Structure 1
């Protein structure tokens, strides 16, 4: 009896950040047969995403060169320069919009499938491909709404924070207290991003696992986040540092091999980096899945209140 009580106390104790990261490594393995299609879809979508934007990169580069010619006061401007700029803007806006919209839905389905798969693996519920497809068909719209709110909030807060910090720094001198205030504002903005990003990531897990979505999922993440802010922000910071390191490695390799001997060199390197980034995104979802359950546990909740069990049973009948 004493051993059982001790084991129960250990299992119910809150996990540290390092323990959450460790437990997250086990979720892909516990996912069984569903892991390979998730990895394959993530690798393909990440590499294709980079390839698409790399393919249209000459358009904005050419656009920048034309705008620089337009700004310069010279009598040797090419004829119809303004028309060429307008045409490039329309071409880039059209292509970029289509690509962004396509990969918005790619990430949407990948996030829903991955978070639900990892959630079921975490609570040891066997999930078949039919179960997963059924869940995706039932929850893709709700996940899209939640994701749409997150995108809008991210853009809005990003613009406001950038404008505030840039205004303070541009109007200040390095030696003045206003500059230090601008730096402090930038740090506070970054901490705010860590705080909100963790909540938003957890709201996607909530939408995938539970029946609430949209504003309901965002509100529920606020309640679950109470008492777990420190662990959540540290986790997001660590995941963000690795992601920045991935893109930093890409920039370093490109600069080291510049100018490339062929056009395929930077594209190949970029696809490799994109694939690594895709795998890291899968691991990040596993981390937020474990953290989501940790937040539930910290509030005295368990999987008994989920609607996942009836959904799985229905799918299996």
Structure 2
């Protein structure tokens, strides 16, 4: 049994001559994150497979469920231009189109809510699995998912606050841009100034998202949520925001490149397919999101060490950081 006062173990391997952490901290995080997957491959791969399977099933169900309504809507809409507006048939078409539109919106709303909940569940699973591995503990998939169900309230509340902050930022940006568009349109939309404003807005959001992403990590690995998790994240990230910003920029740029590349490849290899390309895009984005959460989990523990805090898991149970040469504890061992 590990004493709760035991200090985190430092990696006994010799420091890299390149000293990535001193030159560019986020590069060190990118080196550390994949090791989490390798150290606990069975658990991490199980979470990955479950995530891909659930996301794919949801997407397929969504496509299959709304395709008849969309096809019917397009077919009926094509008759509007050739139907007399004063005839009863025109009124019937409008009524039928409204019904189809409500059905599509309703199904899409259900899909978005279900997919958001599923994404949050597997994001929580990825964070907890990464934290478990980083601290040298090994859970079975069943035990991990059981713990995720019990603590899901914390990241859900934090996620809700993060969505409100995202909405607030979007409203602020809209309120700032609309007057410029009204005053200078169409020159504003075509000018280099509009591009500069957009780039600055994206970079500033990436800067704000550093705290928001770290708050989600805090709400999973500590007994904090909502405003308290955001406050703890702001406290932890002091002096390390540039590392988080670089991570956000890197993952954002990589996501754009992947989407662009898959669309190009998909249009050539799967021309006309309405299922393969969306599946590739969805699963690729899910994998990138999972890896970014693993990187943020490493950043979280690095920030805790920087501030002299113990490496702790939920419930106040403390573990030591896993070394590359230290075998993981079995799931039935207690710390």
With structure 2 as the length reference, what TM-score do the two structures score?
0.76
Alignment coverage as a number of residue pairs: 309
> Are 1:252 and 2:264 an aligned pair?
yes
SS at match of 1:149: helix
Aligned to 1:272: 280
- Do the aligned partners of residues 126 and 168 (structure 1) sit closer, same or farther apart at CA in structure 2, a change above 3 Å counting? same
- TM-align CA RMSD: 3.9
Aligned to 2:162: 150
Moved more, 227-236 or 82-91: 82-91
Please show how residues 64-213 of structure 1 align to structure 2 within 5 Å.
78-129=90-141, 131-172=143-184, 182-213=194-225
Q: Aligned-pair distance for 1:187?
A: 2.5
Aligned to 1:302: 310
Q: Alignment partner for residue 36 of structure 2, among 10, 27, 36?
A: 27
Deviations 1:100-139 (A, max 9, x none): 1212221122111110110121122233445424422331
Q: Contact 2:21 / 2:28 at 8 angstroms: preserved in 1?
A: no
- Do the aligned partners of residues 188 and 211 (structure 1) sit closer, same or farther apart at CA in structure 2, a change above 3 Å counting? same
Q: Contact 1:51 / 1:267 at 8 angstroms: preserved in 2?
A: yes
With structure 1 as the length reference, what TM-score do the two structures score?
0.80
Q: Contact 1:46 / 1:277 at 8 angstroms: preserved in 2?
A: no
Deviations 1:39-62 (A, max 9, x none): 111211332343244332565687
- Do the aligned partners of residues 69 and 302 (structure 1) sit closer, same or farther apart at CA in structure 2, a change above 3 Å counting? farther
| Structure 2, gaps ≥5 residues long | 1-11, 320-329
SS at match of 1:266: coil
Q: Contact 1:165 / 1:186 at 8 angstroms: preserved in 2?
A: no
Aligned to 1:47: 56
Q: Aligned-pair distance for 1:310?
A: 6.4
> Are 1:17 and 2:29 an aligned pair?
no
Aligned to 2:289: 281
- Do the aligned partners of residues 57 and 148 (structure 1) sit closer, same or farther apart at CA in structure 2, a change above 3 Å counting? farther
**Alignment partners' CA distance in 2, 1:177 and 1:105:** 36
Aligned to 1:221: 233
- Do the aligned partners of residues 214 and 63 (structure 1) sit closer, same or farther apart at CA in structure 2, a change above 3 Å counting? farther
Q: Contact 1:247 / 1:273 at 8 angstroms: preserved in 2?
A: yes
| Structure 1, gaps ≥5 residues long | none
Q: Aligned-pair distance for 1:91?
A: 0.5
**Alignment partners' CA distance in 2, 1:106 and 1:37:** 15
SS at match of 1:165: helix
- Give the structure with the higher percent helix: 1
